Amino acid sequence: MGQEIKLKGKLKAYIMTPLVLTVLLAAMDVWLYFISPKAGVIGTVFVAGYFMILVAVYQHNKPVVLNELIDFATQYGLVQKRLLNEFEIPYGLLDSNGRILWMNKAFAETTGKDKHYNRSIAGVFPGITKELLAKNDEQDVKVTIEDKIYRASIKKVYFNDVMAENEMIEAKDSKQFLSVIYLHDETLLHYYMKETENMQLVAGLIYIDNFEEVMEDVEEVKQSLLLALVDRKINKYFSSVDALIKKIEKDKYFIVFKQQYLEKLEEDRYGILDEVKNIKAGNKMAVTISIGVGSGCKEYMKNYEYARTSIELALGRGGDQVVHKTKDNVYYFGGNSRQVEKNTRVKARVKAQALREIMMIGDRFFVMGHQIADIDSFGAAVGIYCAGRQLGKKVQIVLDEVTTSLRPVREQFSVENGYPEDMFITGHEALETYDYHTGLVVVDTNKPGYTECPQLLNKSKSIVVFDHHRQGQDIIKNAVLSYIEPYASSACEMIAEVLQYFDEDIRLSDIEADSIYAGILIDTNNFMTKTGVRTFEAAAYLKRCGADVTRVRKMLRNDMNAYKARAEAVRHAQVYRGSFAISICPADNIESPTVACAQAANELLNIIGIRAAFVLTEYQGKIYISARSIDEINVQRIMERLGGGGHLNTAGAQLTDCSIGEACKTIQNTLDEMIEEGDIK
């Protein structure tokens, strides 16, 4: 055993030094021969004797030294192993396959396994797999044992690194490794972190959506009673979550509560929305409220700003809902009630005057709607053109693509009928001719990515938005004037109202009145959906301006191929879960399949038992979805989950990088999730 082990390194050099020094003595002895041969002989005898004694001592002491070293190393290893075994931090050794080779006492006690347990670590911690161990040289993994949370620190130890200084053993594979694992108990750390998070304050704002309308509907003596009942409901509901409630105006409340109660409110789906609607005190119209919640920031003012943004978003989406905004996300709850039409036109008059002032300042204006423009966005753009013409301003409509349904209306605005040749320009032309003094008016959309030319939004310093769709998280920002009314039936209805207050002497030609009237007709499905008093008043105004129903009807007729495609979509519709119609509209030989898609969705609602209809079509490399409902289902919420949006009863979405079959499956999965979560009843 002793002959098989060799000394090396500094220890060998230290022991061999006297033997090496004999070379110096031999050199000195050679020098003595030149001085005195007799002295040289004596020196030679001395050097030889000295060398023999050193060799004898080395040979005698070498086994003793090696034995002492082996004994020390053994005792040191035993002490080290004992210390490691009794180490307070759980420690284990794994092979490259994740099998436990050794564990100390603390590791065995923590995991509840025997010290001789030599199976895969995945049997103890399912998250630590063979593939995970092979990924990184050092990594931390969160694991749990019963009710305790641990941070598992894992480090690779390669055989080559261990054997680098060992000349007797060499690893054949340089990639072979062992894994060392430490367990750090972070249960208390996570507990206090969770407590700190739970103690953070959440800011909220509560607005009564239809305060004025409800008060007008109630006798004066009962108004105080109705308000008292609303106050009582709100105070009782939020007192259950230890909230501080302060009434800041007759129809507005400010609330503050702890973060830990957010989950409870969300699980309840903010039942206060339904509780308030059930209040009856002589009112025929149900009271609805909107709630804006802000959380996720350490600064209280930031949470309050989020709450203000949330309440504005809730009101912009039609009210009767809760919007919860955090730093990274926006969550929606409720929003299943139809918007209450406001009879007052004060807002329309104010916006009309604001638009007039903006247009008085600018030299010229671009007007654009959404991509694949429909009659509503086109008619609204024509209305803005008329307003600019009244002030003597140059207005151009940005229009890239003219669909089959839009072409008959577009062709009316020709040079022969007295309209300028450059009334319509493409998005590319608009970008080339844009200058600092050009204003931009966006109609029938409030999403930047849906506009005809999104690049114009980045260039323009003066942006005006007119839209009737509910707002989502992605909206056009920095608009100098924004008029978004979800209760309106169409953008054309809003523009017709604005034109009445824009200038008393404004005049519309028959063609222009027909275009705006057609937009209202299409978006209301021939005055069958989302129509109110103001819708008919707008239509009456356009009739006075020369709109003719017969001409409009002729312009809106479909060709035979589009009609057949719509019929095919209705014929092959499948009913999912007994109340959701899902179908595919063929796009072959149709110039505007998206229009036929929307028409087919409307047709499916005429079938008994259908609560919502979803029709899909493939067009220009995208899957377009048209979603429609009558009153029970909020299709906007469904489409928002797919990246789209719209109205309570009319919505849509666009999907990319998927087949039309996968899109149908996505809709089914979304419906399943929302039914399970309680968003669809």
Instruction: Tell me the fold of 91-193.
Output: Beta-Lactamase (3.30.450)
Helix axes 375-390, 510-523, angle to 10 degrees: 140
Give the alpha-carbon dihedral of 660, 664, 669, 674, to 10 degrees.
120
Q: How many CA atoms lie within 13 A of 263 on its CB side?
A: 3
Q: Residue 140 annotated as binding?
A: no
- 374 is annotated as contributing to ligand binding: yes
Q: Is 503 marked as a binding-site residue?
A: no
Q: Which residues pair with 396 in a beta bridge?
A: 366
Q: Which CATH class, in words, describes the domain spanning 200-334?
A: alpha beta
Determine whether the annotation assigns residue 647 to a binding site: no
Binning pLDDT at 50, 70 and 90, where does residue 164 land? Answer: low
pLDDT tens per residue across span 576-598: 999 999 999 998 878 778 888 98
Q: What is the mean pLDDT of residues 388-402?
A: 92
Residue 479 backbone zone (phi > 0: left; psi -120 to 50: alpha; other: beta)? beta
Report the CATH number of the 346-555 domain: 3.90.1640.10
In this predicted structure, which of 12-16, 215-219, 635-639 has the lowest mean pLDDT?
12-16
Task: Look up the pTM and report it.
Answer: 0.59
pLDDT tens track for 205-223: 999 988 888 888 888 888 8
Q: Is 370 annotated as contributing to ligand binding? A: yes
> What would the two tokens of residue 456 be?
């114009």
Q: Is the per-residue pLDDT at 168 higher than 60?
A: no
Between these two residues, 541 and 22, which has the higher pLDDT value? 541
Quick: pLDDT tens for 270-293: 989 989 988 988 888 889 999 999
| Cβ-Cβ contacts under 8 Å for 421 (sequence gap 6 or more) | 415
Please report which confidence band the pLDDT of residue 2 belongs to, taking 50, 70 and 90 as the band edges: very low
Q: What is the CATH number of domain 560-677?
A: 3.10.310.30
Q: What is the mean pLDDT of residues 653-672?
A: 92
- Write the CA distances from 127 to 55, 103, 116, 154, integer angstroms: 61, 19, 22, 13
Q: Is 523 annotated as a binding residue?
A: yes
Mean pLDDT throughout 32-61? 77
Average per-residue pLDDT for the chain: 84
273 CB-side CA count, 13 A = 22
DSSP-assigned states of every residue in 287-302: P-EEEEEE-S-SSHHH
Domain ranges of the chain: 9-84, 91-193, 200-334, 346-555, 560-677
Sheet with 330-334: strands ordered across? 244-249, 252-258, 201-208, 289-294, 321-325, 330-334
Sequence-ordered list of residues with C-beta below 8 angstroms from that of 238, at least 6 positions apart, any chain:
245, 255, 257, 272
For 70-91, write each residue's pLDDT tens digit: 666 566 556 666 766 777 788 8
When mean pLDDT is compared across 158-162, 228-232, 467-471, 499-503, the lowest value belongs to 158-162
C-alpha span between 579 and 472 (Å, rounded): 27
Does position 301 have pLDDT exceeding 80, yes or no?
yes
Rounded distance between C-alpha atoms, residue 568 and residue 587, angstroms: 11
Q: Residue-wise over 473-486: b if at least 16 C-beta within 10 A, else e?
A: eebbeebebbbbbb
Q: What is the mean pLDDT of residues 6-16?
A: 64
